[in-house]
Amino acid sequence: MKDYRIALLPGDGIGPECMNATRTVLDRIVAETPGLNLEMTSYRAGAELYRDTGETLPENVLADCVDSDAVLLSAIGLPDVRYPDGTEVQPTMMVGLRRALDVHSAVRPVKLYPGAPCVLRDTGPGIDFVIIRENLEGLFASFGGGAKVGNEVATDTLVVTRQGTSRVSEFAFRLAQRRKGRPSDGKKMVTCVDKANVFRSLAFFREVFFDVAKNHPEIGSDAVYVDAMSLYLVQNPWDFDVLVMENQFGDILSDLGAGLVGGLGLGPSGEIGEHHGLFQPSHGTAPQIAGKNLANPMATMLSAAMMLDWLGDQHNDPVAIDAAARLETAVAKVLEAGEVRTRDIGGTSSTSDVATAVADAIGCTKDCAAPA
């Protein structure tokens, strides 16, 4: 039996509530799964900590994150807590953590669960695609750099390297291999999303992507410009399976994706490298509703399911992979039943109601098949 060491960073705003709810369901899944052991340690990090101590991510916490098998983070940052230069603490902390863990591929599943509210009138054969965002380069490589010339001109540089593009593309093809293909016809596909017609850097991204595609002839590959893709994702999202793109494009399209399938409260994410995985909901700290037991914890729970799946894949551990599927099924069951849902998805239930409902549903997913 493998013991997994998990660093928990509950963070700020609604982060701690979502993390508590997720902890309840993780404790339940461990209790129900012989052969799964999670050693979870919670650390303070983020804006509140900065306000109290002047530090956002203490050295020892960063070192423990690097030493852990995985990191589960809830949400970081508060708009009124800023560094002396006026910037928020969240970007600096997150970029630092990503760089330290070398998590090169951000994975944002966009899946419409039965019972989740959808803004589209027609959902065709269903929505189930994944956005893979290159996580360390692109326009975000300029973070902390950039240049301002006098009061008239400012620039940031978009960086694309062969190594960075190859590894995120390889990651995308490997993920496509494990999936069931696009909903419209079951074909496994990886689509490069770029602006290769305008920018040399993004033409290079496409060129490297197709070099990698040659190693995966069993999986279809194509390329679509980012502007066209934002249209297609609204008109025919079921025609896509895995999308891979530059950092800033991924940042934007993944929020569009979350908007298609019920909003930020249902959007999980994982940031994955060769040796580390960092998992967190795609929402922020939503300070307006913080501390009121109103936040939807499902995105954090689904991120925890992604974490278990990644740990299982990484360590060749079918027990963790099965636990991941059961946790996702439990969330899906509660959504489909529709009795317990938070305000953001049209209900009146509290964060803790959802925790109880999902924990109870885990009991009855023990013998269930993985979700479709």
Rounded least distance, CB 286 to ligand ATP, Å:
4
Only one of the segments 141-149, 240-248, 278-286, 303-311 lies at the binding site for ligand ATP (rule: CB under 6 A); that segment is 278-286
Segment (H or E) for 279:
strand 277-281
Only one of the segments 188-196, 237-245, 284-292, 329-337 lies at the binding site for ligand ATP (rule: CB under 6 A); that segment is 284-292
CA distance 264 to 286: 10
Rounded least distance, CB 262 to ligand ATP, Å:
11
Length of the chain: 372
Helical axes 298-314 vs 318-337, angle rounded to 10°: 160
* Residue 316 binding ligand ATP, by CB under 6 A: no
User: What is the distance of C-alpha 124 from the center of its chain?
Assistant: 25
CB 245 within 8 A of CB 137: no
Binding-residue pattern over the window 222 to 261 for ligand ATP, x denoting contact by CB under 6 A: ----------------------------------------
97: exposed, middle or buried (Cβ count in 10 Å: 0-12, 13-18, 19+): buried
227: exposed, middle or buried (Cβ count in 10 Å: 0-12, 13-18, 19+): exposed
Q: Of 54, 288, 316, 339, which one interacts with ligand ATP (CB under 6 A)?
A: 288
Q: Of 69, 246, 271, 344, which one interacts with ligand ATP (CB under 6 A)?
A: 344
CA distance 307 to 74: 13
Only one of the segments 37-45, 161-169, 245-253, 286-294 lies at the binding site for ligand ATP (rule: CB under 6 A); that segment is 286-294
Q: 151 vs 288, which CB is nearer to ligand ATP?
A: 288
Q: Of 33, 68, 165, 296, which one interacts with ligand ATP (CB under 6 A)?
A: 296
Query: What does each C-alpha distance from 228 to 133, 236, 296 come to in angstroms?
Result: 17, 11, 32
Q: 78 vs 202, which CB is nearer to ligand ATP?
A: 78
Q: 285 vs 350, which CB is nearer to ligand ATP?
A: 285
Q: Of 160, 278, 286, 308, which one interacts with ligand ATP (CB under 6 A)?
A: 286
Q: Of 265, 270, 277, 312, which one interacts with ligand ATP (CB under 6 A)?
A: 265
Only one of the segments 54-62, 211-219, 285-293, 317-325 lies at the binding site for ligand ATP (rule: CB under 6 A); that segment is 285-293
Q: Kindly calculate the radius of gyration of the chain based on its CA atoms and give it in whole angstroms.
A: 20
In the chain, where does DSSP find H-type helix? 15-32, 47-53, 59-67, 89-101, 162-178, 200-213, 226-235, 247-260, 298-314, 318-337, 351-363
Q: Of 108, 188, 276, 283, which one interacts with ligand ATP (CB under 6 A)?
A: 283
CA distance 49 to 55: 6
Rounded least distance, CB 292 to ligand ATP, Å:
10
- Among positions 65-104, residues that touch ligand ATP (CB under 6 A) are 77, 90
Q: Of 160, 233, 261, 295, which one interacts with ligand ATP (CB under 6 A)?
A: 295
Number of residues that bind ligand ATP (CB under 6 A): 16
3-class DSSP assignment, residue 65:
helix
Rounded least distance, CB 269 to ligand ATP, Å:
11
> Read out DSSP for 332-359?
HHHHHH-SS--GGGT----HHHHHHHHH
Q: 32 vs 88, which CB is nearer to ligand ATP?
A: 88
Tell me the pairing of strands 70-75 and 3-11.
Answer: parallel
Tell me the CB-side half-sphere exposure of residue 286, using CA atoms within 13 A: 21
- Interacting residues with ligand ATP (CB under 6 A): 14, 77, 90, 264-265, 283-286, 288-289, 295-296, 299, 342, 344
